[in-house]
Amino acid sequence: MSVVEQYARAHIVTDADLAEEERSAVPVALHYDPDEDPRTVRVGLPGGREWSIARTLLEQGLRAPAGSGEVRVWPCGRVQAIVEFHSPQGVSVVQFESKALLRFLRRTYTATSPTGRQLTR
C-alpha cells in the first residue's frame, strides 16, 4: 500500500492573531499512510500544526455536518467545506474547496484497495 500526500489551498480563520499573509489562501498538507493507520488522515497546517482525522469523518462531513469534540467537518455551499479544529490553544477553522478533499479521499481509497472505493456525494 502506498502513502498519499496532497497539498490543497485553504483559507484559515482562527481566534489567534495572524499575519496578513496567513489570512490569504495557504497550502495545507493532506497525508494518508495506510501502514501507519488505515482509518486516519492527517492535515498539516502552516506553522507545523498537524491534526489527525478519521477518514470517514472527513468523507461524511463533505455531505452533512459531522463530528464532535476536537474536529468537526461540514459542507459550506456547493463547492466548499469547513474543517474546524478545537484545542486548548483555541479554535482554527479551515475552509477548503470540496473537490480538493474529494480528490484526496479518492486517492486514499485507491491506495488501500486494488479496486478502489467509490465515494458518493
* Beta strands per DSSP E along 1-121: 4-14, 26-32, 40-44, 50-54, 66-68, 71-76, 80-87, 90-97
Cell output for 2: 502506498
AA identity, residue 109:
Y
CA 82/CA 110 separation, integer angstroms: 24
The answer to whether the CB of 117 falls within 8 A of the CB of 109 is: yes
Residue with cell string 468523507 = 59
pLDDT of residue 49: 86
pLDDT at 76: 94
pTM of the model: 0.82
pLDDT the model gives residue 83: 95
> Rounded CA gap, 70 and 23, in Å?
22
User: What does the pLDDT look like over 84-121, one tens digit per residue?
Assistant: 998 888 888 999 999 999 999 999 998 876 554 555 55
pLDDT by residue (tens digit) across 14-58? 655 655 555 578 899 999 999 999 999 999 988 888 999 999 999
